[in-house]
C-alpha cells in the first residue's frame, strides 16, 4: 500500500494570480488525502493565453518553476492550460511526470464514450487544439470542436451567458455531431457544474478535474512503479551545464 | 478532499483462482489507502484466454459478477485480461466505470513517450490487440507488437525464459521499431520487475499496475465528479426486465 | 466448371423464428441454383439484438450451430445481423468461410461508388457499426450513419413510417453527406424494394441480398480454390479437446 | 431463384492474344454454370503493362470493347490487370458493373485474415498498386508489398524461378510483415497453385480467380437487385452525343 | 545566382485554344522575368474535361506535347486542369518536373492555414479530386469540397452568377466547415480576383497562379540542384524503343 | 511580369554566426535575381538546437527579428532549422509568409516520388520531426526517418564520416524502406552535393535549397496575388498593444 505524500505542482501559466484561488478550490473538491497541491502562477507573464505568442512568453517561466520543483523532489506537475504549451520541453527537462490539461482530459474522455466534442472559447483555439488531438491519437474520437465565441475576458464578465452558450453547444455536439461525451476546454466553477449535471443527460468533463486526478495517478505510478516519460528518445534531457539561463 | 472508501472489483476472467493471489499482491504494492480491491475469478470458465471462443465463454460469468457489484454500489471494475473482452457489454450493463487492461495501459503509455511497443505471448494475440489499439486511437503511437511465442502454460513453466525473451524483444522494439516505451501484455511478478528496472534504461509498463491505478482514478472521478461511461449512445443499457438470465 | 451443390447456413441470431420465413423468401429471389440455404434461428436467445449484451447472449448458440454445420461439411455460413457479432469467434472455430452482413455489404458497396452511407434503426447502433467499418477499412468511404430512430418493434409495427424515414434519410445522405450509395442496416421486404427502386435515382443495398451473394462467392472460392480464413494468426483454432461445452 | 445466363466480358488489355487461352482455362476451372466468359485482348496495344504510359495506351481500346459489350447487354466486365487502369472511366461509360482485379482480390482477401501482403513483379509496380489499396480502404490491412524483381518476360521465361521467388516472398511476408494472407498480383497456372497449396500453410490468392468470382456476384446483383455503380456522382456518364470517337 | 532562362510548357488539355489567351494573361501577371511560358492546347481533343473519359482522350496528345518539350530541353511542364489527369504518365515519360494544378495548389494552400476548402464546379468532380487530395496527403487539411453546380459552359455563360456562387460557398466553407483558406478549382479572371480580394477577409487561391509559381520553383530546382521526379520506382521510364506511337 | 525586388529574412536560430556564411553561399548558388537574402543569427541564444528547450530559448529572439522585418516590409522569412520551431507563433505575429525548413522540404519532396525518407542526426530528433510530418500531411509518404547518430558538433568535426553515413542510410532507405526520394535534415556543403549527385541514382534534397526556393515563391505569391497565412483562425494576430516585450 502506497501511503507516501505526493507534492504536485500546478502552474497557471499567466502573469496573474487571479485564477489560483479557484484552482485550489477545485482541487480541494476532488483530491485524495496525501496529494498536496502547490498552485502557482508566473511573476511576469501574459494576461491570458489566447495567442500562441503569449503561450511562448509564458513557457520560459513555467519551465523554470517546473525544473525547480523537479529538483526539489516533487512528484508530478500540471500545465494549467488546455493548449498544453511547453509539454514537450517540460518532459525533456524534468524527471517527474508532466500532465497536460488537454492530453489528460482527452485520455480519460476517450474511455467514456464512442466520440467526444470539445467546447472552446474562440474559433482561434481550434487549430492548435485539434493538432494536439491528432498527435494524441484522438482524431477518430473527436466528434467536433465547437466555439462559444467568448474570449476569457468575456467569460469572466458574463458567466451566465457563458454557461448558456456551453450547454447549447454541448447539446448540439450530441445532436448533430454524434458526441457522447463533451469536454470543456476551460475550468468552470462548482456552481456551473451543479447546474450542468442537473440539466444534461450526458457527461461534461472539466479539464481541471480530469488533469488533477490524472496527475495523482501519474505521481503514484512514478514513485511506486518508476513510470515516467521515457528518456531515450524525444525527451532526452539537455546536459545540465549548457541550459541557457532565463 | 475526497476521503470516501472505494470498492473496486477485479475479475480474472478464467475458471481458476490460480492467478488471484498474485493479483492481490500486485495491487497491494501500488494501491492508495481507501481503495479496496475485490479480486475474483469465475466459478466455471476456460483455463486461459488464448482463444476468442474462450474469451466469449468467460464474458457471461464476468458480466454477471460486474452487474452484481454495480448494483451493490461498487465504484469501478477491472477486466483482468489484455484483450479487454466484454468491455462494450460491461459498460452497457453497468453504471460504474469499467476499466480494460489494454485500454488503460495504452492510455497511460501514450503519455510516456512518442511511440510504444507491446510484448505479446503469441502471434495469435496480435490481430485482436491491434484492432483494439486502432479503436482506442493509438495506431500512430504503436511502434510494434512483438511476440515471445510462449503461451500462458509455457510462461508459467519457465519464468526465466519468459523474462529473457521479454527483455530481448523489448530491446529490439526500441532499437528496430522506434519504441520509447514498452508495455507487457501480461502481468509479471515483483521479482521480474526488480530485474527489469535494473537492466533496461527505458520504462516497461505492467498492465496490472497501470489498470489498477487507472481504476482508482476512474472510481474517484465517478463518485466525485459524476464521470462514467456516457449512456446516451453505444452504452445505453438494456431495459432491466428483459435481460436474458444466464 | 463448378457444378457442385453448396450448403450455406444462415443464422438469425435471435430466440425466435419470426424472421426466418422472410429470410428464406429473400434468398429465394436472388440465389443461384446449386446454393442451398439452411435458415436457422436460436432455440433460446434474445428477442432482438439492440443491445450488445443480447448479442453476447446470442453468440454462444450461434457458434454451436455453425460448428455443427462446419463439421457436417457445409460450405459457408452467414451471421444474419448487421453488428457482425461473433465473426471473430466463428472464424476461429470453423474451417468454412463465415460471412458477416456488415462486412459483406460494405465490401460490395465500396465498389459501387465513391462514398456510402448507412441507415440505422437507432443512434445506439452507430458506435459498434462504425467501429466495424473502421476495422474493415471503410472509414474514408463511409459518408455517414443516419438513424431513423425506430427500434425493431417499431419497424415491425409501422412499415410505412419505416419506409418513409429510410427514403428521407437516404436522400439526405446523398444531398448533405456526399453519399453515392446507401446501405440499409436491416433487411427489407420485396415490396419495400420495388417502391424504393422506382423512387430514388441511386442504389440502396439490402444487407441480406449482399451477404447471401457474398456467401455464394465465398462457398465457391472455398471449395474450388481453397480460400477461407487464414488459420496462422488471429483465427487459429482452439484445440478441440478443450472447447468449453455450452 | 436466379437461373438467367450472364455474359461477362474479360479484357486482357494488351495488344496480344497470348494470355487469352490460359485466362479461359482458369475461368473454366472456377466458373458456375450460367456465367459465360468472353475473353478478349486488344487489336492494337502495348505488349504488357509494366509502364503507366502503356496502361494509358491500352485503356482506350479496352473502353471501346466494354462500351460495346454494355450496349449489347452484357452483365459485367473485368479489367484483366492488377493496376485496375481505366476503372474510373469504364464505370463512367458503362451501366453494367466493372470489376478490377486489384479491387476484387483485396476486397475478398480483407475478409480472410487480419492483414495481407501482395507479391508484385517489380518494385516499379508498388506505388500505383499501393495508391489503389489506399483508395480502396486497405491501408491498415496491407502488411506489405514484396517484389520478386521479375518483369513479365522474365516470368514467362523461367516459371520455376518465379514460383520459387513467390513462395519465398510469401513466407517472408508472413514471418516478417505479419501477413496472414498473400495475394499474387499476377495470375498463375494450375500447376503453380497445386504446388503452392501443398507447400504453404496459409492462403495465397490468385487475382484472376478472385475477380472472376467477384464478377459473377456483381453480374447477379446487377440483374437481380439492380446494384451497379452509382450514377449520381463521380460515375455520371458523359452525354452520348459528345463522346470523342477513337 | 541563377540567371538562366527557363522555358515552361503549359498544356490546356482540351481540343480548343479558347482558354489559351487568358492563360497567357494570367501568367503574365505573376511570372518572374526569365521564365518563358509556352501555352498550348490540343489539336484534337475534348471540348472540356467534365468526364473522366474526356480526360483520358486528352491525355495522349498532352503526353506527346510534353515529351517533345522534354526532349527539346524545356525546364518544366504544367497540366492545366485541376484533375491532374496524366500526372503519373507524364512523370514517367519526362525528365523535367511536371506540375499538377491540384497538387501544386494544395501543397501551397496547406502552408497558408489549418484547413482549406475547394470550390468545385459540379458534384461530379468531387470523387476524383478528393481521391487526389488523399494521395497528396491533405485528407486532414481538406475542410470540404463545395460545389457551385455550374458546368464549364454555364460558368462561361454567366460569370456574375459564378462569382456570386463562389463567394457564397467560400464563406460557407469558412463558417460551417472550418476552412481558413479556400482554393478555386478553376482559374478566374483578374476582374474576379479584384472583387474577391476586396470582399472577403480570407485568402482564395487561384490554381493557375499557384501552379505557375510552383513550376517556376520546380524549373529552378531542376536545373540548379538536379531535383526532379525520382526515376527509381513508380516513375521509371519505359524503354524509348517500345513506346507505342499515337 | 513581376520585376519587384523581394527581401527575404533567413534566421539561423542559434546564438552564433558560425553558420551564416555558408548559408549565404548556399543561397547565392540557387537564388534568382531580385530575391535579396538577409541572413541573421541571434545575439544571444543556444549553441545549437538539439534540445527542445534550446529551441524554445531561440524562438523569442527569432520572433523579434521576424516581426521587425515584417514591419520593415520584408516579403518572406525563413526559419533555418528542420524542427520548424516557432512556425505557429511567427505566422501569428507576421503578415508576410513564414517558411519552415521541414514543411517546405517535404512539400516539395512529396511531388518528387511516391515516398520519401529523412536522414536525421540523432534518434532524439525523430519524434518532433515525425509529429510535424504528420501534421503537414505526409504520414503516408514518409517511408522512414533514419539516424546517422551524429550530433551537430560531431558532424562539424568529421564531415567525411557524416557524408558516408548519410549516403549509407539514404541507400538503405531506398532498399529497405521503399523511399524514392531522400531529404537531409541538415544543410550540406556544395562539395557534399557534388559527390552525392555523382554517386547515387536518386534525388537527395537539401533543406536549405528547398526552403529558399519555396520562400522565393511565397514572397512572389504574397506580393503579386496577396497569398499569405490566413488570419481568420489559428494565425489571428494578438492585439499589438498587449504583446509582451522581450
pLDDT in tens, B163-212: 999 999 999 999 999 999 999 999 998 889 999 999 999 999 999 999 99
- Do D49 and C18 form a contact (C-beta atoms < 8 A)? no
- Do E150 and E159 form a contact (C-beta atoms < 8 A)? no
Residue A202 φ/ψ, nearest 5 degrees: -135, 155
- C-alpha C52/C-alpha C85 separation (Å) is 9
Q: Are residues E212 and E92 in the same domain?
A: yes
Q: Are residues E60 and E122 in the same domain?
A: no
- Cβ neighbours, 10 Å, residue E206: 23
Q: Which residues of E touch F229 (CB under 8 A)?
A: 111-113
Q: Which residues of C touch D214 (CB under 8 A)?
A: 217
F and A make contact (3+ CB pairs below 8 Å): yes
Q: What is the 3-state secondary structure (H, E, C) of D11-73?
A: EECCCCHHHHHHHHHHHHHHCCCCEEEEEEECCCCCCCCCCHHHHHHHHHHHHHHHHHHHHCC
Chains contacting B with at least 3 CB pairs below 8 Å?
A: A, C, D, F
Q: Which of B99, B62, B72, B90 is nearest to B7 (CA)?
A: B72
Predicted local confidence at residue F170, as pLDDT: 98
Asked if E92's CB is within 8 angstroms of D233's CB, the reply is no
pLDDT tens, A57-98? 999 999 999 999 999 999 999 999 999 999 999 999 999 999
Q: Which of the residues F130, F138, F139 would you substitute to probe the B interface, choosing the one with the greatest number of B C-beta atoms within 10 Å?
A: F130
Predicted local confidence at residue E54, as pLDDT: 96
User: Distance from C57 to chain B by nearest Cα, in Å?
Assistant: 7
Nearest to F178 among D126, D131, D139 (CB): D126
Rg of the Cα atoms in chain F: 18
Among B205-209, D207-211, E240-244, which stretch is predicted with the lowest mean pLDDT? E240-244
Nearest to B113 among A3, A214, A233 (CB): A233
Q: Are residues B60 and B177 in the same domain?
A: no
pLDDT tens, F161-210? 999 999 999 999 999 999 999 999 999 988 899 999 999 999 999 999 99
pLDDT tens, C127-181? 999 999 999 999 999 999 999 999 888 998 999 999 999 999 999 999 999 999 9
- Give the mean model confidence (pLDDT) for residues B67-96: 98
User: Distance from B152 to chain D by nearest Cα, in Å?
Assistant: 21
Q: Are residues D36 and D70 in the same domain?
A: yes
In a domain, B1, yes or no: no
E and F make contact (3+ CB pairs below 8 Å): yes
User: Distance from F41 to chain E by nearest Cα, in Å?
Assistant: 22
Nearest chain F Cα to D129, which residue?
Answer: F114
In a domain, B16, yes or no: yes
Q: How confident is the model at residue C246 (pLDDT cuts 50, 70, 90)?
A: very low
Q: Are residues B43 and B88 in the same domain?
A: yes
User: Distance from E174 to chain F by nearest Cα, in Å?
Assistant: 9
- Give the mean model confidence (pLDDT) for residues A200-211: 97
Q: Which residues of C touch D211 (CB under 8 A)?
A: none
- Give the mean model confidence (pLDDT) for residues D2-20: 94
User: Distance from B202 to chain A by nearest Cα, in Å?
Assistant: 6
Nearest to C127 among B47, B233, B243 (CB): B233
Q: Which of the residues A173, A227, A229, A237 would you substitute to probe the B interface, choosing the one with the greatest number of B C-beta atoms within 10 Å?
A: A227
Measuring CA to CA, how many Å separate C108 from each of C115, C136, C222, D79, D192?
12, 12, 19, 17, 29
- Cβ neighbours, 10 Å, residue A18: 13
Burial C24-42 (b: 16+ CB within 10 A, else e): eebbeebbbebbebbbbbb
Count of the separate structural domains present in chain C: 2
Q: How confident is the model at residue D2 (pLDDT cuts 50, 70, 90)?
A: confident
Nearest to D134 among F140, F178, F180 (CB): F140
Q: Which residues of F touch D134 (CB under 8 A)?
A: 140
In a domain, F1, yes or no: no
- Do B9 and B80 form a contact (C-beta atoms < 8 A)? no
User: Distance from B114 to chain F by nearest Cα, in Å?
Assistant: 6
pLDDT at A115 over 50: yes
Nearest to C51 among B56, B59, B92 (CB): B92
Asked if F134's CB is within 8 angstroms of B140's CB, the reply is yes
Q: How confident is the model at residue C1 (pLDDT cuts 50, 70, 90)?
A: confident
- For the beta sheet containing C142-147, the strands, ordered from the edge strand earlier in sequence to the opposite edge, are C142-147, C116-120, C181-184, C204-205
Predicted local confidence at residue F241, as pLDDT: 47
- C-alpha A218/C-alpha A214 separation (Å) is 6
* Largest Cα–Cα separation, chain A: 55
In a domain, D1, yes or no: no
**Cell 468526364, located at residue:** E51
Q: Which of E125, A140, D218 is nearest to C109 (CA)?
A: D218
In a domain, A33, yes or no: yes
Asked if E221's CB is within 8 angstroms of F217's CB, the reply is no
Q: Are residues A96 and A212 in the same domain?
A: yes
In a domain, E181, yes or no: yes
- C-alpha D24/C-alpha D19 separation (Å) is 9
Nearest to A2 among B3, B31, B202 (CB): B31
- C-alpha E51/C-alpha E14 separation (Å) is 12
Predicted local confidence at residue B244, as pLDDT: 44
pLDDT at A35 over 80: yes
- Do E9 and E35 form a contact (C-beta atoms < 8 A)? no
In chain D, DSSP finds a helix count (H) and a strand count (E) of 9, 8
Count how many residues are written for chain A.
Answer: 246
Q: Are residues D90 and D142 in the same domain?
A: no
User: Distance from D140 to chain B by nearest Cα, in Å?
Assistant: 9
In a domain, B76, yes or no: yes
Q: Are residues C129 and C219 in the same domain?
A: no
The contact set of E with A (CB < 8 A) is 114-115, 140, 178, 180
Nearest chain F Cα to E102, which residue?
Answer: F111
Residue E239 CB burial class (10 angstroms; 0-12, 13-18, ≥19): exposed
Whole-complex ipTM: 0.96
pLDDT at F1 over 90: no
Q: How confident is the model at residue C190 (pLDDT cuts 50, 70, 90)?
A: confident
Q: Which residues of D touch F114 (CB under 8 A)?
A: 126-127, 130-131
CATH code where residue E117 lies: 3.40.50.12500
Predicted local confidence at residue B2, as pLDDT: 77
Q: Which of the residues F84, F244, F245, F246 would you substitute to probe the A interface, choosing the one with the greatest number of A C-beta atoms within 10 Å?
A: F244
Q: Are residues C191 and C238 in the same domain?
A: no
Write out the H or E segment, with its range, that includes residue B204.
strand B204-205
Predicted local confidence at residue B55, as pLDDT: 96
F and C make contact (3+ CB pairs below 8 Å): no
Q: Which residues of B touch C45 (CB under 8 A)?
A: 244
Cell numbers placing A143 = 466528434
B and D make contact (3+ CB pairs below 8 Å): yes
Beta bridge partners of C36: C7
Q: How confident is the model at residue B152 (pLDDT cuts 50, 70, 90)?
A: confident
Predicted local confidence at residue A2, as pLDDT: 77
- Cβ neighbours, 10 Å, residue C89: 24
- Give the mean model confidence (pLDDT) for residues F74-81: 98
Helix residue spans in chain A (DSSP H): 20-30, 52-71, 87-93, 101-109, 126-136, 152-157, 159-177, 190-199, 207-220
Q: Which residues of E touch C179 (CB under 8 A)?
A: none
Q: Which of the residues C13, C60, C84, C244 would you substitute to probe the B interface, choosing the one with the greatest number of B C-beta atoms within 10 Å?
A: C244
Q: Which of the residues D13, D48, D56 would you substitute to probe the E interface, choosing the one with the greatest number of E C-beta atoms within 10 Å?
A: D56
Q: How confident is the model at residue F149 (pLDDT cuts 50, 70, 90)?
A: very high
pLDDT at E228 over 80: yes
Residue F21 CB burial class (10 angstroms; 0-12, 13-18, ≥19): exposed
- Give the mean model confidence (pLDDT) for residues B123-131: 97
Asked if C126's CB is within 8 angstroms of A180's CB, the reply is no
- C-alpha F136/C-alpha F126 separation (Å) is 15
User: Distance from D158 to chain C by nearest Cα, in Å?
Assistant: 24
The contact set of B with F (CB < 8 A) is 114-115, 140, 178, 180
- Give the mean model confidence (pLDDT) for residues E24-50: 95
**Cell 478490377, located at residue:** D100
In a domain, B237, yes or no: yes
Q: Are residues B178 and B161 in the same domain?
A: yes
Cell numbers placing A148 = 462559444
Residue E139 CB burial class (10 angstroms; 0-12, 13-18, ≥19): middle
Chains contacting A with at least 3 CB pairs below 8 Å?
A: B, C, E, F
- Do A57 and A41 form a contact (C-beta atoms < 8 A)? no
Q: Between these two residues, D190 and B68, which has the higher pLDDT value?
A: B68
User: Distance from B103 to chain D by nearest Cα, in Å?
Assistant: 20
Measuring CA to CA, how many Å separate D233 from each of C85, C109, C114?
33, 14, 8
**Which residues constitute the domain of residue A144?**
103-207
- C-alpha F21/C-alpha E26 separation (Å) is 38
Q: Are residues B188 and B233 in the same domain?
A: no
D and A make contact (3+ CB pairs below 8 Å): no
Q: Which of E198, E193, E229, E191 is nearest to E210 (CA)?
A: E193
The contact set of F with D (CB < 8 A) is 114-115, 140, 178, 180
Q: Which residues of D touch B139 (CB under 8 A)?
A: 140
Averaged pLDDT of chain B:
95
Q: Are residues B92 and B213 in the same domain?
A: yes
- Give the mean model confidence (pLDDT) for residues A178-187: 97
- Do E43 and E15 form a contact (C-beta atoms < 8 A)? yes
pLDDT at A230 over 60: yes
Asked if E57's CB is within 8 angstroms of D56's CB, the reply is no
Amino acid at each position: 500500500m502506497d501511503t507516501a505524500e505526493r507534492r504536485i505542482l500546478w502552474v497557471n501559466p499567466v502573469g496573474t494570480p487571479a485564477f489560483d484561488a479557484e484552482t485550489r478550490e477545485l482541487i480541494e473538491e476532488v483530491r485524495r488525502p496525501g496529494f498536496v497541491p502547490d498552485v502557482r502562477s508566473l511573476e511576469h507573464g501574459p494576461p491570458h493565453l489566447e495567442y500562441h505568442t503569449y503561450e511562448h512568453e509564458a513557457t520560459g517561466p513555467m519551465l523554470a518553476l517546473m525544473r525547480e520543483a523537479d529538483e526539489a523532489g516533487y512528484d508530478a506537475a500540471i500545465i494549467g492550460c488546455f493548449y498544453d504549451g511547453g509539454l514537450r520541453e517540460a518532459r525533456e527537462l524534468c524527471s517527474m511526470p508532466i500532465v497536460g490539461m488537454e492530453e489528460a482530459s482527452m485520455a480519460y474522455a476517450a474511455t467514456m464514450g464512442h466520440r467526444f466534442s470539445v467546447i472552446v472559447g474562440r474559433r482561434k483555439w481550434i487549430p492548435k487544439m485539434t493538432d494536439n488531438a491528432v498527435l494524441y491519437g484522438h482524431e477518430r474520437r473527436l466528434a467536433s470542436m465547437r466555439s462559444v465565441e467568448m474570449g476569457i475576458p468575456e467569460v469572466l464578465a458574463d458567466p451566465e451567458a457563458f454557461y448558456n452558450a456551453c450547454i447549447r453547444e454541448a447539446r448540439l455536439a450530441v445532436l448533430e455531431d454524434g458526441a457522447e461525451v463533451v469536454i470543456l476546454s476551460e475550468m468552470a466553477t462548482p456552481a456551473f457544474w451543479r447546474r450542468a449535471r442537473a440539466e444534461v443527460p450526458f457527461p461534461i468533463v472539466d479539464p481541471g478535474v480530469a488533469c488533477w486526478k490524472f496527475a495523482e495517478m501519474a505521481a503514484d505510478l512514478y514513485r511506486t512503479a518508476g513510470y515516467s516519460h521515457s528518456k531515450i528518445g524525444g525527451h532526452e534531457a539537455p546536459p545540465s551545464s549548457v541550459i541557457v539561463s532565463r
